[in-house]
Amino acid sequence: MEDLRGGVAVITGAGSGIGEGLARVAAEQGMKVVVADIALDRADSVANAIAEQGGEALAVKVDVSDPQSIEALAATVHDHWGDVTLLVNNAGVETLGFSWELSAQQWEKTLNINIHGAIHGVRAFAPRMIAAGKPAWIANTASIGGLGMMPIQTSYILSKHAMISFSECLFLEMQIKQAPITVSAILPGPVATRIFEDGGTTTDTSSEQHRVMMNTMLEADGISGYEAAQRILPQLAAGDFWVSTHPDITREFAAGRAAHLSALAKPALPEEVLRGMGLSVNGK
């Protein structure tokens, strides 16, 4: 963690949830923090709270679905504080609905934020980070959902699979460039955030029931965004590629995914998930 002290951290989606937690924990570790979020009021609130605790923070409005907005963010950060030490492409949204019932606009919004936001974040920041020649870190927030499958959350799940793949390939690219950039994929488990509260849905009953079920589960069992960040940041600093808030759950999901692919099995849901959706299990 000492390697991060005094450096500059840029965190997207930092106005709430895991992003807010990472901003606060990074500031506590002596980093200058750029709190980037599409909701400037939330970003300002987080930045002000950090300042009140004696930290340094800059709130910046950014729309990660817009490449020009991210490029403007990168220019602002470098003009204000110089080289970036830690970039966390964390912004993400949840959209619920059957694949064919989501509008083209809902699909575009979800994929542009969840996938293109990270891609363009790397495009905007990585060239300067590589040119600086200093040790630096890039992390992309995926999900344990990226190791599994879930109907109705299709747009989200596929985006998190993409984030894992993007992170793996980016890791290898940095090796080829011999750049001192550590790349990590963050796979949060149950974390109580606003993602289902803020998420969009279609109007069908199944989507709304699913949203309520998932939100209730996170409220009951999820850790806070701050606690998640306390677990995440040391792993990033240590150079771990797979970064988890719940290691045991992550290993379980990874083992299940490996077994599923190894067997070339048909897609299936666990019995407890089927019951939660009100569906019969083996005719019962």
pLDDT tens-digit series, residues 84-120: 999 999 999 999 999 999 999 999 999 999 999 999 9
Quote the pLDDT of residue 212: 63
Q: Which of 81, 125, 137, 156 is catalytic?
A: 156
Quote the pLDDT of residue 215: 58
Quote the pLDDT of residue 188: 97
Rg of the chain, C-alpha, whole Å: 19
Dihedral of the alpha carbons of 135, 140, 145, 147, in degrees to the nearest 10: -50
Quote the pLDDT of residue 198: 61
For residue 193, give the nearest of 167, 227, 169, 160 by alpha carbon. 227
What pTM does this model have? 0.92
The CA-atom distances, in angstroms, between 130 and each of 12, 119, 154 are 20, 16, 35
Which parts of the chain register pLDDT below 50?
none
Quote the pLDDT of residue 205: 65
The domains of the chain are located at: 8-274
Quote the pLDDT of residue 108: 97
Residue 226 annotated as catalytic: no
User: What's the CATH number of domain 8-274, 2.40.30.200, 3.40.50.720, 3.40.50.800, 3.40.50.970?
Assistant: 3.40.50.720
Quote the pLDDT of residue 74: 98
